[in-house]
A and B are shown apart, each in its own frame.
Chain A
Amino acid sequence: MRTWQIVFRKEVLDNFRDRRTLLSALLMGPLFGPILFAFVINLSLKQSLSSDTEALQLPVIGQQHAPNLLEYLKSNNIDIIDGPADRAAAMQAVKDGIHDVVVVIPEEFGAQLADATPALIELISDLANTSAEREARRAMRVLQRYNQELAGMRLALRGVSPLLMRPINVDQVDVSTPSGRSAILLGMLSYFFIFALLTGGMNLAIDATAGERERGSLEPLLCLPVSRDELIVGKILSACLFMALSLSLSLVSFYVTLKFVPLEQLGMTPNFGPLVVLGAFFLLVPFTLLGAALMTLVASFTRSYKEAQTWLSAVLLAPTLPILIVSILQVRPSLELMLVPSLSQHLLLNGLIRNEPVNIAHAAVSVCATLALGAALTWICARLYRRESLLG
């Protein structure tokens, strides 16, 4: 057996017995993402679905002045309830958050309507409050529709076609596919996977230098008649294994989670079947070498386990950077972008979720570039492992 194999086997055994590693590799990383995701999606789904199907409770002041309007509102799934005593009380109630929106119908409403002068209705709401804003917009929409209908009827009475009021008819045609729409939501998935992957190998990466040093096991290890290159390679590979494990668990847990998230109700069909899971695994797994080497490299400069953990939390955030920039700039995948790790995985994964055919050239460049960078970092780690000052 080669030295790196011996080290690899020992590290795997050692870390499978380490509660800290298991917790972060097999529990934290893989479950944190999906649970957070499912929670956020479910919450926002509930919000947007409920507001359209459930009746809106609308307090109205001065109900007796506009019986027809109230009927119209009721027929548009709006329940009229008694409002506060007067306009001032209504303003205060909205300010205090007791009501999201209050409609005030002044006494003159009926007379103005009869005179065909614009009749005033007040809609009191707090637009800084998002959920109130949604309710206010819903009430506004219904009121405007009522407005249009009245106008149409007035024109018809005077023998004018109400169609004159609509010189243009705009019809919005949406070409996005249900899986394409879901990509907007699932765009953050790639980062969850990279995060889970990195968390899985974090403890092993720290252990290669700072951990061994702190335990006092580094010096005897270096006294052995084996090459340090092989020691570090064995350690990095074992970190890769845990990262791959964490990644696959995280993919599977997402697969299961998505089954329970009613995305179809939003007109989204996430393309996240078993084949996509498999494809995502192969696209992301080259990132383990890069992640393991990068984390080992950063940890090798630290003096203690604690210090290493602090620095590595920064490394956990590093892969978000390209993803963030790209989501702001809205770039399309290109061959050059495939040279950037984390970004290339993000773009390819989004393509998969959109149900677009995989661009083989892109995938190949992404895998090769990521592996090459990982190998280069491993080489640097090996150089650093030869330093005298390694013992601290």
Chain B
Amino acid sequence: MRKMAAFLLRGWLTEISYRTAFVLDLGSAVMLIATVYFLARVIGANPNNPYLSAYGGDYMAFVVVGIVFQLLVTTSLAAFSRTVRDEQIMGTLEFLFLSDTPLWRVLTYAALWDFAWTWLITAITLGVAIFAFGVRLHANFVAAGVVLALTVLALAGVGLASAGVILVTKRGDPVTWFVGIASGFLGGVMFPIEVLPGWLRTLALMFPTTHALAALRRALIAGESSSSLAPTLGLLALFCSLTIPVGAGVFYWGFRTARRAGSLSHY
């Protein structure tokens, strides 16, 4: 626990030392919601909208949940590789490895601040949407929490693989790029995937993030329970069971390759 706290404190101290960025990050969250608010006014609320009827016809709520989801997806995918890259650049990676703490724990702790910060921004985004812009959610927070937890875990496996690649390539991470784009565009963050042409919709449905986002919307907007989301939760659990071992394997491969090449501290 003390080690985890030390990493969190390090992240907090670093974050608040960039005061401008700290304020701008918060400002960006507010501005994004404001933009969506006015976009939603253009589209107008219509319960009979065939694309949005499953979500009560409220485009604002639809997109806000999409944005929150995408924030978490991006962090889950990129936190580990970004952590590795940052530590390489600062020359601290070797010193993290020199501790007696197992490597997977060091990496998880090091990425923890990214997750904590994203959760904070997520909470602020949702809070602003609800209290300042009147977004109405009929949330089942337990179900939403389960969906998010499984999504984060599943994508963290992909993120681990990406960190392993970064240890070797130092820069240029195709894994995060591809999954991030797939999730943002095909996952239906800004629009329902039903508007996509058939072949793209088929492609979109191949990505677990598409299903995860749909389930999150159903939990947060329509208040559906975990049991009614069971098929999606099962899919996410299956995805976790695949990505985490594969991600850990790729990470250790990258680590051993870098150690053999003597390039742990290179960037």
Asked whether A and B interact, the reply is no
Interface positions of B (Cβ within 8 A of A): none
